[in-house]
Structure 1
Amino acid sequence: MPTQPRLLPPAASVSLLVPPASRQAQVIGEKTGAQRLKTWDIPTTFHCSIIGTCLTNGELRQILLKAGQEDAKTATDHSLHGRGVRLAGQRDQAAKLLNKALDKRHEAAIKRIPRQADEAALRCIWRESFDRGDIAGPYWALMSHPATPPALVRDIFGEVHMLSHLVGSASRLDIARLTQLEKELGIERDKTARQEMRLKAAAEERIALQQRLRQMEERAVNAEALAAHAQRPRSEDIALPGRADTEDTRAGLLARRLKETEDRYGALQRELEQLQDLSHSILRENETLEAIIAAEDGHGAKHVIPQQSGPVLYVGGRRNLFDHLRACAENRNVDLLLHDGGMEDSTTLLPALVGQAATILFPVDHISHAAVGLVKRLCREQGKSYLPLRSAGLASFLAAISGAGGAYGRL
């Protein structure tokens, strides 16, 4: 995935970075006309923001390599940025390569701006581009446009500069959230590994029980044959009346053992199905977490999903996770209502909350039976759907609001 253009590193003050209007007008006025401004025609104050916003590190590295700087292959991003800023103020072949790369990368934005546009038209183009998040191309196109007035140059520079502050702050929050998700994913992976071991053991036990069941069936068939044979009137039976009773007793014992084995086999079969359902639920939650981490690691920004049909009510769970639940819901455009199931919040609030919500969630491992019964009754009375969650962790909640938690229930 191509690296997104970086924004200008925050500085102490925009007003201190922008040169006086008279000097800026003099520099830009020298190049007004048909020619677009080169980087060395633009005041050096703006070189840092142009290089940081309008070129990626990969593109800048290629330019420096073409300029003969072989050590650019291993240079850090900060070192690349500094070299690019210095290169922008030169008038040599390397600076021409830099200008060519900027014009080629942002050719579409340059063509959209008329050469004879006045200040009002240029300002309108910048505002529309900024509002839709298209920063890099219009920024270079306007900074290098021969008709851009100094006042507009200062304004767009200031907006890009302040935007870099916001991006830095958001990045720190994203890193913290990503770290928390990675921890959750590690815990869920450990649970999955243990669950797979239990499933494997249960499968082996099931095979062993099937073998024992076949042996018991064979013995039961033999016992029935012996019992039928024992019922035939024979002379030795007359002589030995206790022999038939012995065979009948043995057949009854074998039948009881067979019944017990079948019952245990059925119980193990049901337990295995429950474990398989639990394993599938954990795997779905892991897939959801991995998709979220991959998306945030690749884009470094919020990924908002379309809002569901109405608010989601979360009943029960751990109160120390409520802030995380709110953050996850807000990040996915979900209107979340919270109630701790009666620990501190009054249960008299539940009817009104259920009435507001379109869907009700509750973790089965961290809610009282009384609260579950009340929630189900209210959902049944008001015709609302509910979804029991496997646990009170963030993983189960994320899987539910991301569509990986399965179908909602209704009683």
Structure 2
Amino acid sequence: MNLLSPRPLSPVAGPGPDGDACCRPATPLIPERLGSRRRRIWELGAHAHCPVIGVCLPLPVVRRLADKVLGGQALATDYELHCGVNSDCRQRNPMAEAVQKELDRRYLLTVRQSLKLKTTEALAGWWQQQRQGDSVPGALWATLTHSRCDALLEERVLQDIHLLQHQAGAANRADLARLDSLLDENRVLANELARVQERCTRQAREQAQKLERTQSELVLARAALVGRDTLVACLREDLAALEASIPDLRGRQALNEQLARQLGRIQDLERALLRTQQTLEMERLRQTQTEPPDDQTPSVEPQDAPGPQAPATGEVLGERAVLCVGGRPASVPAYRRLIEEVGARFMHHDGGEQDHIARLDSTLAAADLVICQTGCISHDAYWRVKDHCKRTGKRCVFVDKPSAASLRRALVILKPVKG
């Protein structure tokens, strides 16, 4: 073996001494034979070793085989290693046998496929088909070692491989230029991807925080719901216990509701009745003041005779206490002025709006006359006034709409009738 100090090979490219093509051997190396045994790599011409090893075996595989055969690490460069293995494959030796075994193992299926070809013409047609595809290395090895590969076919195959190597080199340079362009584009896309990933990460973080807040709110809402359900269950239990302790509770509630509706209806009717009574009373007073009695003859006193003076306005009610229940707070000063103009003492209770309803009874007891403005007091105050006046016989005028004019009419009704 001359692996570590290879000898230069005969040029594969370049014209021969007779001006023939670059891949044609100087002397015929393949005897005309019709045997069926495949040729070994050391049985091929030296001009075939370079394309076979260069095309069919990657450089890392060649270096691994050399290290295994040498029992150590080959110190040669890739080019020196290639040339040394080519030189060793010219004759049978451990290196050539290792290369033969690796090629047969690597391209076993392709070799088996080529064994079905029985003629040189069939083998040549098969090679033309394979060289157009992606299995050129396996087809090259199977064709050159086939028993029907003659010198002419071998020369044609090596010429095709020579041109394919040139084309592969040109394509490789175009691929490198394309690769540079793709690398630039890849850098741009990588930067854009980094920005997008950063934005997505930020959005994912924001969404995670929002989801965490939502989940916290959901936990609080569920806790509130559980508390509400618990309260509802407790209230239902209390209601059931109350219904069990009070017989016919629901019937009583229905009766109370019906009673409240009836009381409201009665109050409306009484208000209407009071308005009618007030109208009739006003009409009666008006007739009393304008018409003389039927059993008396109207008389006209002389103008120069001194007649009896009418009582002053402030002496009509004679210091009686007049209680005004209800009314608008802003109209209270006006109510006070009207009542004090007729000589009465003014008292007031708002009917339970601000004054406590329990004070109404004591205020009613201190009053001599009562004016109840029913439009702005509660039902409880209304019934307290009505019950007190009915029980004590105290005069009371009910006014539906609170106003100064209504109060003035009520004072006219409350004036004592003179005999």
Question: Same-fold call, TM > 0.5?
Answer: no
Greater relative CO, 1 or 2 (CA 8 Å, sep 6+): 1
Q: Larger C-alpha radius of gyration, 1 or 2?
A: 2
TM-score interval for Structure 1 and Structure 2 normalised by the shorter chain? 0.3 to 0.5
Bigger fraction of residues in helix = 1
